[in-house]
Amino acid sequence: MDINDRVVVVTGGAGGIGKALCTSFAGAGARGVVVADVDGDGAERVAGALSADGHDALAVRCDAAVESEVIGLVAAAVSAFGPVDLFCANAGIVIPGGVEVPDPEWERIWAVNVQSHIYAARAVLPSMLARGEGYLVHTASAAGLLTQLGSAPYAVTKHAVVALAEWLSITHGDAGLTVSCLCPQGVWTAMTGAGPEEESGSGDQLHRDFAVSTAGRDGMMLPAEVAAIVLEAIADERFLILPHPVVAEYEQRRAGDRERWLRGMRKVQAQIAGSVT
């Protein structure tokens, strides 16, 4: 898909990868960029910056985990710019811990990390399929292909996102829907301890150490770097977007010899536990 003259919606657009995507889409000539986030003020700042640079942008406060708000988001986008061509379901959270994590926290991460993607698809699929054209980008994680040490809720929900994206591509790909699934490893965002403005590696040292010891073992990327790769992948209409190419090797090892992969991951987990203590 050529982004030029397209209407694009990005959830989680107030910061991190979402903010970088909004900036990249605007720079690529999008007819309208809708910046959606539960942080309404943050969305306003991003949209305001894009507008100041001469781009058409709209900020919408939206809790992507609430279906009625996602429906309202799509309605606002259509009212401002026309039918949505590209929807980036990008909102996500992380909760550390294992099966002992309380049910309300499991329910919260499931709503944000999985249900939000379902709600997005429900809201835009009818129009896209009727037009015979549309694009969904689902932000998952390398954790959705592999795992997330230290966070069962994150690993489980990100696997679900990958499964949903695959199902949508298989089911609707011949009807004009294009689907991409973004699976980065470590990226400097608020989630990994970056500062809220620069997202360039400064921030809370505890989160930084955790990120580098787990998802960041193969290097941390900046959101703008990830956004540039996403833009290229959309142009090529690639399903799997791997900003860290080494993830493909890990996935092949996992599929080729699951027992060996599990043993290796236990070693990594033991190394991390040792460095923390």
Q: Which residue out of 119, 135, 154, 250 is catalytically annotated?
A: 154
Nearest CA to 162 among 251, 269, 228?
A: 251
Nearest CA to 137 among 122, 115, 117, 113?
A: 117
135 is catalytic: no
Residues 6+ apart with CB under 8 A from 84: 7, 8, 9, 34, 74, 77, 78, 124, 127, 128, 134
Q: Are 127 and 85 in contact (CB under 8 A)?
A: no
The residues carrying an active-site annotation are 154
